[in-house]
Amino acid sequence: MEYFEEENPEETTQNDPQEQDEVLLTVTEDIRSYIYETAKWTKFLSIVGFVVTGIMILFSFSAEALISTMNGKVGAANNPWAALGGGFLTVVFLLSALLYFYPSLLMFKYANSAKQAVLYGDQPALSEAMSKMKSFFKFWGIITITILGLYIISFLLGIVAYLGAGSVAA
């Protein structure tokens, strides 16, 4: 007589609970208090960022009036901004405001998600908060690399201009 074991699909697909658990980070009370305090300061900084963005937007729409006022007092020939025009300055200020708004928005979202995660033990909110923090630092990292690249290009162009001016004078 042959012995047949009946296979139970639940037993074959289910492993020991200890084997399924991955090594997870533990969020201690100290860490929770740090996240909560960081969220408060981040919210403050994001609100300041929103206010500065609003001021930049208002200033961008008054660039034309500012240039015409400066032309009246200083004279158009002595005003280097007059050559650029109010429309150009409006676009530059609006782009600057957008550049300032995005990280403020990321900080605001981080602050809200981090606060919710700490107060309610909400794991998805903590994950969302860390995602926003990553995006914030990635954004400023890209901006920093871009600015450093522009500095290097400016420096190299300055050297080329200096050498070019020296060879023309000789």
Q: How far is CA 20 from the centre of its chain?
A: 36
**Which token pair is 152?**
């290097």
Q: CA-to-CA distance for 166 and 24, rounded, in angstroms?
A: 64
118 in a domain, yes or no?
A: yes
Q: Which residues contact 59 (CB under 8 A, 6 or more apart)?
A: 93
28 in a domain, yes or no?
A: yes
Work out how many domains the chain is built from and give that number: 1
pLDDT tens track of the chain, all 170 residues? 444 444 554 554 555 555 556 767 788 899 999 999 999 999 999 999 999 999 999 988 887 777 777 666 655 566 666 667 778 888 888 999 999 999 999 999 999 999 999 999 999 999 999 999 999 999 999 999 999 999 999 999 999 999 988 777 65
**Which token pair is 50?**
């929103």
Domain residues for 52?
A: 24-135
Q: How far apart are the first and last CA of the chain?
A: 109
Helix spans in the chain (H): 9-13, 17-20, 29-61, 63-74, 80-84, 86-120, 123-169
151 in a domain, yes or no?
A: no
104 in a domain, yes or no?
A: yes
5 in a domain, yes or no?
A: no
98 in a domain, yes or no?
A: yes
102 in a domain, yes or no?
A: yes
